[in-house]
C-alpha cells in the first residue's frame, strides 16, 4: 500500500510540477497596469485595486486556473496573474534552456519594478504546484520583497519522493529521462491515469485535461527537469514571510498518516510555515473543494 501511495504521489507531481537567464526587462510605461510580457518568460495580467496579490499557476496550466479566485478578489486587491509562456500561449524563449530560473527572476523583477518600485508594501504571493515552488524561491532569496505566501500542494524538493537519502545528483538521471519522454510528445496533455490523481471529480479531470492540452510539451519537459533538480530545503529557513501551506488528502488514494508525514517533514525547517490540510481533494484543490479553498485564501489574505 505504501509503495502504491508513493507512486501515485510521484505521478501527481511529475504531471503538474513542471545556464542563468538574462535579467528581467524593465516594464515599459504603463506596463504595471496592463496585460504585459515581462522578461519574455511570463505574461502578467494586472487588474483590481487594493493590496498587491500575485497568483502563479502550476506546470502545464494557464492563468485561467485562477479565474474564480480572481473574480472573488479583484474588488479588494490589486491582482497580478502570472502565466508562464508556453502554457496557453506561445512558448517564446521558454522553448529552450532552463525555464524555472528565468521565471523566478522575471516575477521578482516585476515585484521590484511594479510594487517595490512604486513604494508599495511587499505583496502576497499564492502559487499552485510549480507556482508554489516559484513563490518559495522568491521568498527565500529576496525575503524583504514578499509580505506573505501561500503554497498550494508543492514540495521544496521533488526528490523526497525517492526516499530520505535522495539528492539532486541521484535524482538527475530520472529527471533527464522524464524530460526526454515528455519533450517527445506533441503537447503536455495528461493521460487518463494521471487525471485520476489530478482531481477527484469528472468535471475537474476534464478541466485539467483541457488546460494541459494547450501546453507546449517542450516547456513542460524543461520545467519538469528544472523542478526535479531543485532542492530548496536548505533555503527554507531564509523565508521570513508567513507561509501557509495547503495540501490535499483523499483517503481513497493515500493514507492520512503518510500524507501528513510527507508534508510536515518537507516543511520542518520553514520557521514561519503553517500547514493546512484540505480533505476530500487531490492536487487541484481549487477544483475539488472550491469553498474550502476560497475560505483558506480569504483567511490567508486577511491575516
Q: 193-214, pLDDT tens digit by residue?
A: 889 989 999 999 999 999 999 9
- Partnered with residue 276 across adjacent β-strands are 246
CA 271 to the chain's CA centroid = 20
Q: What is the grid cell recorded at 245?
A: 501551506
Q: What is the pLDDT of residues 61-88, one digit of tens each?
A: 999 999 999 999 999 999 999 999 999 8
With bands split at pLDDT 50, 70 and 90, how would you rate the model's confidence at 187? confident
User: In Å, what is the CA distance from 153 to each residue of 2, 126, 207, 215, 260?
Assistant: 20, 11, 18, 20, 12
Q: Taking CA 165 as the corner, what is the angle to CA 159 and CA 169, rounded to the nearest 5 degrees?
A: 60
Mean pLDDT across the chain: 88
Q: What is the grid cell recorded at 124?
A: 502576497
Q: Which CATH class is domain 2-302?
A: alpha beta
- Model confidence, pTM: 0.89
Give the per-residue pLDDT at 191: 81
Amino acid at each position: 500500500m505504501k509503495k502504491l501511495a508513493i507512486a501515485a504521489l510521484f505521478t501527481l507531481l511529475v504531471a503538474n510540477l513542471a545556464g542563468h537567464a538574462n535579467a528581467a526587462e524593465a516594464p515599459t510605461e504603463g506596463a504595471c497596469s496592463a496585460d504585459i510580457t515581462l522578461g519574455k518568460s511570463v505574461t502578467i495580467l494586472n487588474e483590481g485595486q487594493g493590496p498587491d496579490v500575485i497568483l502563479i499557476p502550476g506546470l502545464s496550466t494557464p492563468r485561467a486556473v485562477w479565474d474564480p479566485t480572481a473574480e472573488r478578489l479583484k474588488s479588494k486587491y490589486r491582482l497580478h496573474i502570472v502565466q508562464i509562456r508556453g502554457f496557453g500561449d506561445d512558448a517564446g524563449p521558454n522553448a529552450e534552456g532552463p525555464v524555472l530560473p528565468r521565471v523566478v527572476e522575471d516575477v521578482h523583477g516585476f515585484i521590484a519594478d511594479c510594487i517595490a518600485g512604486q513604494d508599495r508594501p511587499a505583496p502576497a504571493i499564492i502559487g499552485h504546484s510549480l507556482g508554489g515552488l516559484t513563490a518559495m524561491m522568491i521568498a527565500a532569496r529576496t525575503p524583504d520583497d514578499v509580505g506573505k505566501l501561500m503554497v498550494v500542494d508543492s514540495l521544496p524538493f521533488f526528490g523526497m519522493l525517492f526516499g530520505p537519502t535522495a539528492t539532486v545528483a541521484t535524482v538527475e538521471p530520472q529527471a533527464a529521462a522524464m524530460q526526454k519522454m515528455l519533450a517527445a510528445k506533441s503537447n503536455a496533455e495528461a493521460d487518463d491515469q494521471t487525471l485520476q490523481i489530478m482531481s477527484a471529480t469528472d468535471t475537474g479531470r476534464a478541466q485539467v485535461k483541457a488546460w494541459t492540452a494547450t501546453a507546449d510539451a517542450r516547456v513542460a519537459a524543461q520545467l519538469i527537469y528544472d523542478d526535479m533538480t531543485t532542492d530548496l530545503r536548505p533555503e527554507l529557513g531564509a523565508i521570513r514571510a508567513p507561509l501557509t501551506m495547503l495540501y490535499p488528502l483523499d483517503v481513497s488514494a493515500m493514507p492520512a498518516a503518510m500524507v501528513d508525514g510527507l508534508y510536515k517533514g518537507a516543511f520542518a525547517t520553514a520557521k514561519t510555515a503553517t500547514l493546512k490540510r484540505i480533505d476530500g481533494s487531490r492536487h487541484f484543490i481549487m477544483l475539488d473543494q472550491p469553498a474550502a479553498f476560497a475560505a483558506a485564501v480569504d483567511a490567508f489574505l486577511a491575516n
